[in-house]
Amino acid sequence: STSFGASAQGSHAMPTTATGAHDAHGHNPNLQHHFYSMEQQLEASTLGMWLFLVTEVMFFGGMFLAYIVYRILYPEAWILGSNHLNVTMGALNTAVLICSSLSMALAVRAAQTSNRGGQIVNLILTIIFGSIFLIVKYFEYAEKFEHHLVPGRHFDMTLPQANQQQLFFSIYFMLTGVHAIHMVVGIVLMLVILTMSWRGRFSADYYTPVEMSGLYWHFVDIVWIFLFPLLYLLGAHYVAA
């Protein structure tokens, strides 16, 4: 009888013990119920973001593959098309995005050290740099419309190898346009994170959204680092015959 009572008492205590263990780990209000610790939650979030970025790599990879195939087929037309791009604007945007990656990294570090002021300042800088990039891109696109370099019925067909150059600009607008959309998404994301930082949501105990947003931002910046030389620098030392 005593043995049965002890067994019954033990079986009754098991859920309490499990719940108590979860409560011990769940004192942080930012810990979701399906995780046992903030470390596990951060690891799961990081894995999820990297898996998402892998799909983004495959997405851009298809466009890069199209670029490579036609670059091999029409090498001279690619150089001629590249000569119409504004290298100064492209270089400026490259510098702007490098600065934005620095400010984003500093924002993540500020969150990890519970520096609310550092988070806010660096997130604002990141948003400003991203906005400058889009403004420069607007003027660059406007220049292409002005010179009839936008693929379609208004494209300048008097250019040498006009059909092949039109293909170059089709890929140019596809790559840079999709990249610009990702930049817009990144800025909106930064505005959300900035609002949360302003309200004091992030500290050394919880900074996962800042770090995950930083990974996305760095990915977008890295894509541009590839786009700049592939699109803008092909004709840097080329003189038309």
pLDDT digits (tens, 9 = 90+) for 114-173: 999 999 999 999 999 999 999 999 999 999 999 999 998 889 998 999 999 999 999 999
Whether 12 shows a pLDDT value over 90: the answer reads no
Tell me which of 61 and 28 has the higher pLDDT.
61
Most distant CA pair in the chain, distance? 103
Q: Are 91 and 228 in contact (CB under 8 A)?
A: yes
Q: Which of 97, 107, 102 is nearest to 209 (CA)?
A: 107
> Given CA atoms 13, 16, 20, 21 in this order, what sign does their dihedral have?
positive
Q: Which of 95, 89, 97 is nearest to 218 (CA)?
A: 97
Q: What is the pLDDT of residue 85?
A: 94
Chain centroid to Cα 196, Å, comes to 19
- The CA distance from 79 to 74, in Å, is 9
Whether 226 shows a pLDDT value over 60: the answer reads yes
Tell me which of 41 and 5 has the higher pLDDT.
41
Percentages helix, strand, coil for the chain, rounded to the nearest 5?
Answer: 80, 0, 20
- The CA distance from 107 to 125, in Å, is 9
- The CA distance from 210 to 194, in Å, is 9
- Structure pTM? 0.82
Instruction: Kindly indicate the confidence band of residue 27, based on its pLDDT and cuts at 50, 70 and 90.
Output: low
Size of the chain in residues: 241
Q: What is the pLDDT of residue 38?
A: 59
Q: What is the pLDDT of residue 207?
A: 85
Q: What is the pLDDT of residue 240?
A: 47
- The CA distance from 126 to 128, in Å, is 5
Q: Are 35 and 44 in contact (CB under 8 A)?
A: yes
pLDDT in tens, 194-220: 999 999 888 888 888 899 999 999 999
Residue 241's identity, in one-letter code, is A
pLDDT in tens, 84-106: 999 999 999 999 999 999 999 99
Q: What is the pLDDT of residue 199?
A: 92
Q: Which of 188, 202, 184, 179 is nearest to 107 (CA)?
A: 202
> Any residues with CB less than 8 A from the CB of 31 and at least 6 apart, and which?
25, 37, 38, 41
- Concatenating the DSSP letter of every residue in 106-145 gives HHHHHHHTT-HHHHHHHHHHHHHHHHHHHHHHHHHHHHHH
Q: What is the pLDDT of residue 100?
A: 97
